[in-house]
Amino acid sequence: MNQRMPDWLVHRAAAMPDTEALVTEEGELTYRDLDDRVQVAAGGLRALGVQPGDRVALVATNSLQFVVAVHAVARTGAVLVPINIRLTAAEVASQLARVHPSIILCDEMHAALAHEAAGLAELSGVVGLPIAGAPPADPVVTHGPNEDLCIIHTSGTTGAARGAVLTYGNFWASAAGSAYNLGVLPGDRWLACMPLFHVGGLSILLRSAIYGTSAVVHPGFDAGRVARAIREDRISLLSVVATMLQRILDEDPGSAPDHLRAVLVGGGPVPPDLLRRALERGYPVVQTYGLTECASQVTTLSPADATRRLGSAGKPLVTTEVRVDAEAGQPGEILVRGPIVMAGYYDDTAATARAIRDGWFHTGDIGRLDDDGFLTILDRRDDLIVSGGENVYPAEVEAALLAHPAISGAAVVGLSDAQWGQVVAAGIVAEGEVSLADIQGALKGRLASYKMPRVIARLDSLPTTSSGKTQRHLVREILARNRDGETG
């Protein structure tokens, strides 16, 4: 079977040129308009020497230019490397050094970050957006399912980021799984108010092109703006994390409009009070468990099941098999298989071989499947902390803390937080006086601000197992108790 398919945007521009493709601060674009801009940008990339198989990094905030760049890179046959703009220059540099992009695209706001990171990585080729050129003579207008579309970095257990390589086939399968769960209708508008550099945001752009529907892109999350857009821009689908949902509900006291078909909530279960409030007001909350390595959604929990299965992550999409590596009903590592599983980690065959065995992606997350097939996530991999939708890996923060001369031991955990889901907290062993402000000052520039500890407690020593491994769950208990003591 020949599985090559037309480039999704090329197809849509030919099949439905006058249909709305994109809404940004700069207005509405039809598929023809978007495609025209992409051709010009792809010509610019070609003129800069970008060739099929090259990596092209993108350091930019949500905007029309971001969307154009995503499709333009595909049009040249290159592989997109979207960069988390909340990272420090040193963090960005380590990602750039891994993928060696031939070009680093950046918007004006992130030019300094891009230049600094490129300098640290000893790379050149930083280019400001927008770029333009004559449409390429050799546009790439079809893709095979095994061709690489992008590399998205995800932090690993050691705190060093790894690049998950996602293919055209991954996003195609992901789009189908989502469509056959949430539905798709001509004229749908999916609002992206989360970063497009994350898989959750990027997949909105790609599936809109696949479906021939429209993506509404906000520059960032602004609760009032999102609440207005839902009504005035007739949004059909919306992706958020729980804290965003809460702020949207605070902003808009009314009931959800009928045209809002699903609110996809990622980054952990929705707190029961918030869930009740949302459902009472008719918000069709679909909770989802997703992973960068699986091109976003893996399981979802429908509004109908949400209260009956409180805290569950729901059931797998049609593209996806999920099992738990344990006796039936017992907790174990969550394994995922199917066409949504990434090709592997970029340039890291050892990590890929550890992660994907017999086609099963080993998520590192711990969960349990009940008799009815509902998955509950018990612990995120490697004590992953999810704060405001961003993943924070304790090991990375611990390494940064240990670089401080006064700190001899550190254990980093997430504490639950009504606003952010979780906040980063650290138990440290230190000599002399060390204040929270001191530490935050020392870590600035080294750690993205969302990774910064908000709570620090001094411990005499770290609780360890007999083999010397830090018992983070005990540290979490101590920190939670301290905090409750303060507030209670």
Minimum Å distance from CB 206 to a second copy? 12
Using CA atoms, how far apart are residues 32 and 447, in angstroms rounded to an integer?
42
Q: Which residue among 37, 162, 315, 472 contacts a second copy (CB under 8 A)? A: 315
CA dihedral 128, 70, 351, 327 (to 10 degrees): 140
Which of 298, 432, 425 minimizes the C-alpha distance to 360? Answer: 298
The yes or no reply on residue 377 touching a second copy (CB under 8 A) is no
Q: Which stretch binds a second copy (CB under 8 A): 183-191, 377-385, 406-414, 447-455?
A: 183-191
Query: Is the distance from CB of 98 to CB of 163 less than 8 angstroms?
Result: yes
Strand partners, 413: 425
Nearer to a second copy, 188 or 365 (CB): 188
Among the residue ranges 73-81, 139-147, 217-225, 270-278, the one whose residues contact a second copy (CB under 8 A): 139-147
Count of Cβ atoms closer than 10 Å to residue 326 Cβ: 15
DSSP state of 50: -
Three-state secondary-structure class, residue 223: helix
Angle subtended by helix axes 64-76 and 31-47, to nearest 10 = 60
Compare residues 321 and 477 and give the one whose CB is closer to a second copy. 321
The pattern of x and - marking residues 325 through 364 that bind a second copy according to CB under 8 A reads ------------xxx-x-x---------------x-----
Residue (123 or 256) nearer to a second copy, CB? 256
Write the binding mask 65 to 104 for a second copy: x where contact by CB under 8 A, - elsewhere.
Answer: ----------------------------------------
Exposed/middle/buried for 276, CB within 10 Å: 0-12, 13-18, 19+?
middle
Contacts of 453 (CB under 8 A, 6+ apart): 397, 401, 412, 424, 425, 426, 436, 439, 440, 443
Does position 210 bind a second copy by CB under 8 A?
Answer: yes
Beta bridge partners of 390: 387
Position 465 contacts a second copy (CB under 8 A): no
**282 in contact with a second copy (CB under 8 A):** no
Separation CA 228–CA 234 (nearest Å): 9
Report in angstroms how near the CB of residue 5 gets to a second copy at its nearest. Answer: 6
Q: Is 49 in the site for a second copy (CB under 8 A)?
A: no
Residues in the site for a second copy, rule: CB under 8 A?
A: 1-6, 8, 11-12, 14-15, 142, 145-146, 167, 169-170, 172-173, 176, 179-181, 183-186, 210-212, 315-316, 318-321, 337-339, 341, 343, 359, 373
